[in-house]
Amino acid sequence: MLATSRNFEAAAQAGLANDNLQRALGLARTGFPLRRRLAVERLPEFEELRESGRSIKDHTLQHLDFYLELYESQVVASGGRVHWADTSAEACAAVLQICRSAGAKTVTKGKSMVAEEVGLNDFLEANGITPVETDLGEYIIQLRHEPPSHIIAPAIHLVKEQVADTFRSEHRSLDPDRLLVEPRQMCDEARAVLRPRFLAADVGITGANFLIAETGSSIIVTNEGNGDLTQTLPRIHIVMTSIEKLVPTFEDAATLLRLLARSATGQEFSSYTTISTGPRRAGDLDGPEQYHVVLLDNGRSAMLGTEFQDMLRCIRCSACINHCPVYAAIGGHAYGWVYPGPMGAVLTPSLIGIHQSGHLPNASTFCGRCESVCPVQIPLPKMMRHWREREYAMKLNPPIYRTGLSAWAWVARRPALYHALAEIASRALGWAGRGRGRFRALPTAAGWTRVRDMPAPEGRSFHSLWARRQKNRAAM
């Protein structure tokens, strides 16, 4: 997928001004965090599971080569094939080659962020194969030619009227006077339109939430059942996945599954969790004849052994996104690539480069909610800070920002000077604002005062008040 993360500032402004987006985000802002909190409160062991989830992932990453080789040998033993792909281009080529060898014309797809990452749909279309997204949200945005704006709710940026308009303009064979007002009607329409597509597809492509090394299995988690129809009905099942999805055993997957649904949607367990191992067995009455796994690296192995290794623990639950005040204000499209919100602010620079995505780790208030809700305890704010440091070290920020930051750092490293300047500034501001107690406008802070007043300082800095207090105490 082509990244537009460089346009973050303009896209964020546009998001703030988009009424439909703001209405849609308003629904998500409260719903996700509330449901997650209720689910977590119901499970006294939740913190213990987080610890366990973290150590499972850390252990696997420390021995990733071992578990990958074991996983591959078990996929082969169960009759499947593994296609290793270093880059997006290699992953797309592997899928195309499988489709071509089967003479496939249409492909159904379950939601896969890895497939979004490699730009699979555009690639298949350019090569004469029609991919049909089957997750309701993915289907809607495919019809609208939009990228997903959220990793588990790809059409979260839309209100139902927009969905109705899209269905009316795309489903032309249906009665134009049909009622299309409530989500129920739209769900039923999508179900009816997609059912024959499921049955006709030659190839089904899904992602994987986890891979089990012991058994060579892939796991998908869905609520709609679209992933299961996608991987059961066609002759060929292709799993698009990446190397960090691995866990050693089913027991390990079970722990992460307990964390996943609760962190994502606040459900106790998603409707469907399916573990697939190889193709149809002798005597089976259904299931695919071929089972392929496309295993993508695309920059992940380069994160191992660096300050960004912890990010490879991510299980893509979206809790950090759902609790991020920045995401809640601007939506996912502003981030300009597949992964939005805090996890995207760390992962995107790792996968496509900080020179393309420098705005993302800077678009954070560092409030820390993302880290506090992460089911595998990824220190997201810390890693965003690492990206800011790298960006500065690589001289990628604008000159005025660099000069300002250097000047501030120069002063901040000289405490006496810093305190003196702070004292002067706070006294001067306190004197200037003595009448009203706040400023409606400040010469260098228009960005702040345009939308709110700046309170005037009380006249003394905290440091000087503190020093005086300590002195008084000593004198008593």
Partner 1 sequence: MSEARERILSDIRNALGRGRLDPARDAELRAGIAAHRRNPVPARATALDEQGQVELFVAMAEEVQATVTRVGSPAAVPEAVARYLSAENLPAELVMAPDPRLDTVPWSTWPLLRIRRGRAEAKDRVSLTPCHVAIAETGTLMLVSGSQTPITLNFLPETHIVLVRADQVVATYEDGWDRLRTGEMPEDLPRAVNFITGPSRTADIEQHIELGAHGPRRLHIVLVENGQATGSGEDEEHQAPAGQS
**Restricting to residues 76-95, which ones interact with partner 1 according to CB under 8 A?**
77-78, 83-86, 90, 94
- When asked if residue 277 is in the footprint of partner 1 (CB under 8 A), the reply is yes
User: DSSP states of 391-414 as a string?
Assistant: HHHTT-S-HHHHHHHHHHHHHHT-
**Total binding residues toward partner 1, as defined by CB under 8 A:** 104
Subset of 239-258 contacting partner 1 (CB under 8 A): 243, 248-252, 254-255, 257-258
Answer yes or no whether residue 178 interacts with partner 1 by CB under 8 A: no
Largest pairwise CA distance in the chain: 91
Q: Is 106 in the site for partner 1 (CB under 8 A)?
A: no
| 236 belongs to the binding site for partner 1 (CB under 8 A) | no
Complex with partner 1: residue 217 or 263, whichever CB lies closer:
217
Helix ranges restricted to H, 42-80: 46-62, 64-77
Taking the least distance from each CB to partner 1, the nearer of 218 and 348 is 218
* Contact between 268 and partner 1 per CB under 8 A: yes
Q: Could you tell me the two tokens for 419?
A: 């305190």
Binding to partner 1 by residue 74, rule CB under 8 A? yes
Other CB atoms closer than 10 Å to residue 126's CB: what's the count?
A: 11
CB nearer partner 1, residue 193 or residue 329: 193
Give the SS3 label for residue 353. Answer: coil
Q: Which is nearer to partner 1, 198 or 392 (CB)?
A: 198
Residue-wise burial string across 352-387, b where 16 or more C-beta atoms lie within 10 A, e elsewhere: bebebbbbbbbbbeeeebbbebbbbbbbbbebbebb
Rounded to 10 deg, the angle between the 64-77 and 46-62 helix axes is: 90
Is residue 48 involved in binding partner 1 (CB under 8 A)? Answer: yes
Burial 400-428 (b: 16+ CB within 10 A, else e): eeeeeeeeeeeeeeeeeebeeebeeebbe
Residue 453 binds partner 1 (CB under 8 A): no
Residues 289-308 vs partner 1: string with x where CB under 8 A?
Answer: ------x-x---xxxxxx--
Nearer to partner 1, 217 or 377 (CB): 217
Nearer to partner 1, 68 or 345 (CB): 68
Applying CB under 8 A, the span of 178-186, 370-378, 387-395, 447-455 interacting with partner 1 comes to: 178-186
Site for partner 1 in 331-370 (CB under 8 A): none
Measured CA to CA, the distance from residue 403 to residue 130 in angstroms comes to 51
Kindly state whether residue 176 participates in binding partner 1, applying the rule CB under 8 A.
no
Are 364 and 342 in contact by the 8 Å Cβ rule? The answer is yes
Q: Does 312 bind partner 1 (CB under 8 A)?
A: no
| Residue with Cβ nearer partner 1 (119 or 137) | 137
Binding status of residue 135 toward partner 1 by CB under 8 A: yes
Among residues 38, 199, 428, 432, which is the contact residue for partner 1, using CB under 8 A?
199
Name residues contacting partner 1, limited to 11-30 (CB under 8 A).
24, 27-28
Closer residue to partner 1, CB minimum distance, 48 or 122 = 48
3-state secondary structure of 375: coil
Please tell me the total number of residues recorded for the chain in this structure: 476
Considering only 4, 273, 397, 464, the residue that binds partner 1 (CB under 8 A) is: 273
In what helix (H) or strand (E) does residue 464 lie, and over which residues does it extend? helix 462-475
447 binds partner 1 (CB under 8 A): no
Encode 179-204: b = buried (16+ Cβ within 10 Å), e = exposed: ebeeeeebeebbeebbeebbeebbbb
**Residue among 271 and 372 whose Cβ is closer to partner 1:** 271
